[in-house]
């Protein structure tokens, strides 16, 4: 006698002795007994739905090939259902995808309710046990199996006097056997620190760790980024960053989705240091066309990240490394940020060898992006900005002029750059009143003079300078 039937007889006997509405008022509820009963039920279910050993499954397959579906026992039917996610000896694919498996699925597709009720759980297990690479193309036989499960789940639930927990889970989560099986779990998944919360909730379904279901859950979560409102997006950024670190296979898609959504927020001009560093680590410097990883996002998003690097470079140059730098130069050059598509920092000995924590951190985070400036003072640093198609070079120490070129004035393959390469008056674009090549000094009202000379070579800023708002050389494009 099963525990189910035993409990049913006990409840029936009690109902004969006491009216239903007064039973629980006359007796204290047997809490310990109830817990024991639940434990026994769980153990009984585990035994009932225990996966048979492969030898028995393969024996049933041999029986099928020899005599067809005739004279199958209850255990044989279950073995067939368990077998669908297995790989037979000397084969290279799961049983469900070969001719025998397709034949089994088609037989169950036309089977009577009594057979389906018997094999439903093994069929459900096989459905979830397939890996993501097995179902990436949504094979027809897999969709047929899903249709069988979806079509019969309500009848299986109703036909049981005391529905099992896994049956209740299927009824409560109707989408789990649909084209969007994980849609309802996305928000919960993002709010959990890890997949454990959902795994606990779906424990009774015994979804395998390598199941396509978890892959679908992560991909659905990534897709949800693009449609999140701004508040939710900023709330879940940290969760996705953690998810990327834990699941390297999805790091590219996560980074692309996060950056694309960030570019559409009201804070796109604000540097997100973690995303910036993730992007540099995964795809390299966006300022180089050779960094092919940046093809994963659209040009506007790439432009946003380039501006993050430019802004970070200028801030580091003027506010972090160069104590002797004129901060007015930062305010001047930052107004061109929407036109700057490349930046390069050249560090002198003091900045390059500094042991200050912030200096060390910046050098570490930008390893491979920095060059060494040689032939100058200990404290001097330099930077290069490509504004539209013009390369502008400026320096940290006062007394150094500004230069502009129509191509890189140094060999980019070299890590150590001589200051003379950055101060080449033979190829500089600026001209004095006599038409001779010249550099621009930072003396007097230099901002207005810079605006004038930059305008002569076709450079205009969209943003006004903090110190020279009335310059006639500013114009909008």
pLDDT at 463: 60
Read off the pLDDT of residues 130-140 as tens digits, 9 standing for 90 and up.
999 999 999 99
The model's pLDDT over 189-214, given as tens digits with 9 standing for 90+, comes to 988 765 567 888 888 899 999 999 99
Is residue 247 classed exposed, middle or buried when 0-12, 13-18 and 19+ CB atoms within 10 A define those classes? middle
Average pLDDT of the residues in 49-64 = 89
In this predicted structure, what is the pLDDT of residue 100? 94
Query: pLDDT band for position 218 (50/70/90)?
Result: very high
Are 95 and 84 a contacting pair, CB within 8 Å?
A: yes
- Distances, alpha carbon 180 to alpha carbons 152, 196, 361, in Å: 19, 21, 44
Model pLDDT, residue 461: 82
Quick check: 39 pLDDT over 80?
Answer: no
The string of pLDDT tens digits covering residues 345-367 is 999 999 999 999 999 999 998 88
C-alpha distances in Å from residue 176, one per residue of 43, 136, 217, 240: 25, 17, 11, 23
Tell me, what's the pLDDT at 19? 55
Bigger pLDDT: 203 or 110? 110
| DSSP-derived 3-state class of residue 387 | strand
Mean pLDDT of 68-95: 92
Contact between 241 and 274 under an 8 Å Cβ cutoff? The reply is yes
Mean pLDDT of 413-433: 91
Q: Are 381 and 373 in contact (CB under 8 A)?
A: yes
pLDDT at residue 370 greater than cutoff 70: yes
Q: Is residue 470 pLDDT above 50, yes or no? A: no
**Could you state, in order of their start, the residue ranges of all structural domains in the chain?**
3-48, 54-172, 318-456
Q: Is the pLDDT of residue 464 over 80?
A: no
Is the per-residue pLDDT at 474 higher than 50? no
The overall average pLDDT reported for the chain is 86
pLDDT at residue number 49: 66
SS3 state of residue 359: helix
| Own/partner long-range contacts of 435-442 (Cβ < 8 Å, ≥24 apart) | 439/401, 439/402, 439/403, 440/401, 440/402, 440/403, 441/401, 441/402, 442/326, 442/329, 442/398, 442/401, 442/402
């Amino acid at each position: 006698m099963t525990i189910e039937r035993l409990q049913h007889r006990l409840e029936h006997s009690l109902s004969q002795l006491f009216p239903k509405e007064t039973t629980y008022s006359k007796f204290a509820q047997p809490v310990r007994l109830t817990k024991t009963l639940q434990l026994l039920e769980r153990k009984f279910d585990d035994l009932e739905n225990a996966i048979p050993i492969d030898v028995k499954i393969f024996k049933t397959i041999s029986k099928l090939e020899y005599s067809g579906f005739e004279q199958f026992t209850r255990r044989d039917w279950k073995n067939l259902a368990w077998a669908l996610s297995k790989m037979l000896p000397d084969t290279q694919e799961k049983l469900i995808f070969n001719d025998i498996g397709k034949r089994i699925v088609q037989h169950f597709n036309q089977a009577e309710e009594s057979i389906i009720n018997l094999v439903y759980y093994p069929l459900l297990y096989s459905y979830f046990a397939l890996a993501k690479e097995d179902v990436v193309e949504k094979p027809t036989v897999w969709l047929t199996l899903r249709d069988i499960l979806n079509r019969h789940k309500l009848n299986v639930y109703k036909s049981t006097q005391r529905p099992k927990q896994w049956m209740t889970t299927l009824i409560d989560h109707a989408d789990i056997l649909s084209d969007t099986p994980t849609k309802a779990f996305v928000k919960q998944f993002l709010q959990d620190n890890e997949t454990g919360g959902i795994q606990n909730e779906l424990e009774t379904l015994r979804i395998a760790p390598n199941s396509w279901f978890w892959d679908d859950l992560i991909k659905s979560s990534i897709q949800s980024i693009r449609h999140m409102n701004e508040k939710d997006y900023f709330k879940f950024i940290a969760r996705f960053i953690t998810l990327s670190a834990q699941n390297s296979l999805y790091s590219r898609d996560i980074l692309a989705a996060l950056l694309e959504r960030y570019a559409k927020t009201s804070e796109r001009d604000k540097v997100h240091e973690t995303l910036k560093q993730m992007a540099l680590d995964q795809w390299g410097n966006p300022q180089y066309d050779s960094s092919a990883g940046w093809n994963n996002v659209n040009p506007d998003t790439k432009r946003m990240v380039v501006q993050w690097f430019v802004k970070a470079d200028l801030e580091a140059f003027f506010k972090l490394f160069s104590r002797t730098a004129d901060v007015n130069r930062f305010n001047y050059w930052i107004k061109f940020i929407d036109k700057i598509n490349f930046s390069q920092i050249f560090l002198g000995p003091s900045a390059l060898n500094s042991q200050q924590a912030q200096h060390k951190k910046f050098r570490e985070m930008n390893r491979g992006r920095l060059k060494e400036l040689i032939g100058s003072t200990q404290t001097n640093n330099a930077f290069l900005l490509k504004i539209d198609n013009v390369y502008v070079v400026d320096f940290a120490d006062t007394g150094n002029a500004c230069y502009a070129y129509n191509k890189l004035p140094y060999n980019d393959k070299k890590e150590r750059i001589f200051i003379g390469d950055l101060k080449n008056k033979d190829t500089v674009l600026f001209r004095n009143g006599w038409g001779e090549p010249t550099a621009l000094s930072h003396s007097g009202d230099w901002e207005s003079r810079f605006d004038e000379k930059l305008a002569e070579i076709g450079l205009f800023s969209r943003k006004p300078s903090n110190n020279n708002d009335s310059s006639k050389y500013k114009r909008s494009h």
